[in-house]
Amino acid sequence: QVQLVESGGGLVQAGGSLRLSCAASGVTFASYTMGWFRQAPGKEREFVAAIGWSGRSTYYTDSVKGRFTISRDNAKNTVYLQMNSLKPEDTAVYYCAARRLAIMAKSNAYEYWGQGTQVTVSS
């Protein structure tokens, strides 16, 4: 049974930082591309960042480049999203997701999903 469990969300002021974690179980974690997506109220789920199985390949949506960093620790079966210089428009529920193949930005390409963690950035 595959489980992805996000943590680390919360309330932060604009300009602040948060680090999200996603712990995986029930999968051969090192074989999976991992992604982070987010969904704000009334909006569609959008791609944020993804990292290849080895950690060498990463990809970001333009709005977070230079502010967010995705990383992974295959020994701990965990993927991280370091979020700096947060803006009110970053407010959303953040989801991690896993897929077996190469990095993709489309949510329907991911096989497994976590339950999400709320990030709220106040102005």
Radius of gyration of the chain (CA): 13
Taking 90 as the threshold, does the pLDDT of residue 1 lie above it?
Answer: no
Return the pLDDT at 50: 98
How do residues 62-74 score in pLDDT, each as one tens digit?
999 999 999 999 9
How do residues 42-96 score in pLDDT, each as one tens digit?
999 999 999 999 999 999 999 999 999 999 999 999 999 999 999 999 999 999 9
Grouping H, G, I as helix, E, B as strand and the rest as coil, residue 103 is: coil
In the numeric block, the tokens 């390949």 are attached to 57
What is the rounded CA–CA span in Å between residue 16 and residue 115?
24
Among 23, 24, 32, 29, CA closest to 102? 32
Indicate the length of the chain as a whole number.
Answer: 123
Among 93, 91, 94, 92, CA closest to 81? 94
Tell me what percent of the chain is helix, strand and coil, each rounded to the nearest 5.
10, 50, 40
Return the pLDDT at 9: 97
Tokens of 38: 């987010």
Please provide the average confidence, as pLDDT, over all residues in the chain.
97
